[in-house]
Structure 1
């Protein structure tokens, strides 16, 4: 079973390496990882997907909470949330396929972001299933290259972060 977790972390050098190293050393496989600064510059949010049963999820969460630079861990499995992946994909468009590719991009609510003589680059975002379906319909045209961001997610309910705005940044060795 796949689990989506989010960790609010201090925005400091080495935090990503520390957390991913800790998970790897305990044989937890990260299937997806996305990290970015939040609206509070002192903090970043790490969203990652791990596989395993509830016991594995509980171990991952407990290990994350032990790390000094981790401020908050959210398990999305029991919450109502929205998740998205972002993908850029280059597809061949030789002959009459450009019209077909363009129609499929519109159906999937994607966007053509670059056009070259025999290829286009497409941006598409959505749930993992939508991204996978789009990849499948593009295969016959010839996928040249693709890159994905990894999953990001937010809960629909408000999780109080206001107290973090007043928190003094902590300097910790990594």
Structure 2
């Protein structure tokens, strides 16, 4: 009898923490010490007095690994709450990318056409290049980048995932 290992699943975790020096390093250290990969990480304060921050981490792991990550994060002192948005149910996830594309002639026209299809905005333009701003889900941005590689992709800057549960009373 062959036992199949549990497949790694993508999970988006929302971690509410005290906004204090060193907390991000402690959380990143927890991941690296155990060999867990962080695919995306964003941090921002979420209260008017800047006392509390939300850290959003996208990672992959089996259900057992994700459960272990959440339990270990919950034990850190400045952590108020850890929510697995993926397990919670429907949530909104967005990312922003700045995409520099160089080219002329047909490549330039094709870059503009593709940008229109993906609702990317031109935020800078020169005679030989554009910088597009594109927002949306990770898959949309990945596909836009794949297409831009064919017409002259030069450079990419991505914000990482921002995510929040849907509904009025959903978890944070």
TM-score when scaled to structure 2? Answer: 0.88
- Provide the residue aligned with 1:81 in structure 2: 91
- Structure 2: how far apart are the matches of 1:69 and 1:143? 41
Whether contact under 8 Å (2:83, 2:171) holds in the other structure is: no
- Provide the residue aligned with 1:171 in structure 2: none
2:23 pairs with 1:6: no
2:81 pairs with 1:72: yes
2:39 pairs with 1:31: yes
2:27 pairs with 1:19: yes
- Structure 1: how far apart are the matches of 2:123 and 2:142? 19
- Provide the residue aligned with 2:5 in structure 1: none
2:61 pairs with 1:63: no
2:56 pairs with 1:47: yes
- Provide the residue aligned with 2:130 in structure 1: 120
- Structure 1: how far apart are the matches of 2:13 and 2:171? 17
Superposition misfits of 4+ residues, deviation over 6 angstroms: none
Whether contact under 8 Å (2:110, 2:151) holds in the other structure is: no
Shift in Å at residue 160 of structure 1? 6.5
- Count of aligned positions: 161
Shift in Å at residue 100 of structure 1? 2.1
- Provide the residue aligned with 1:150 in structure 2: 160
- Provide the residue aligned with 1:129 in structure 2: 139
Shift in Å at residue 86 of structure 1? 1.0
Shift in Å at residue 29 of structure 1? 1.1
- Provide the residue aligned with 1:167 in structure 2: none
- Structure 2: how far apart are the matches of 1:160 and 1:123? 30
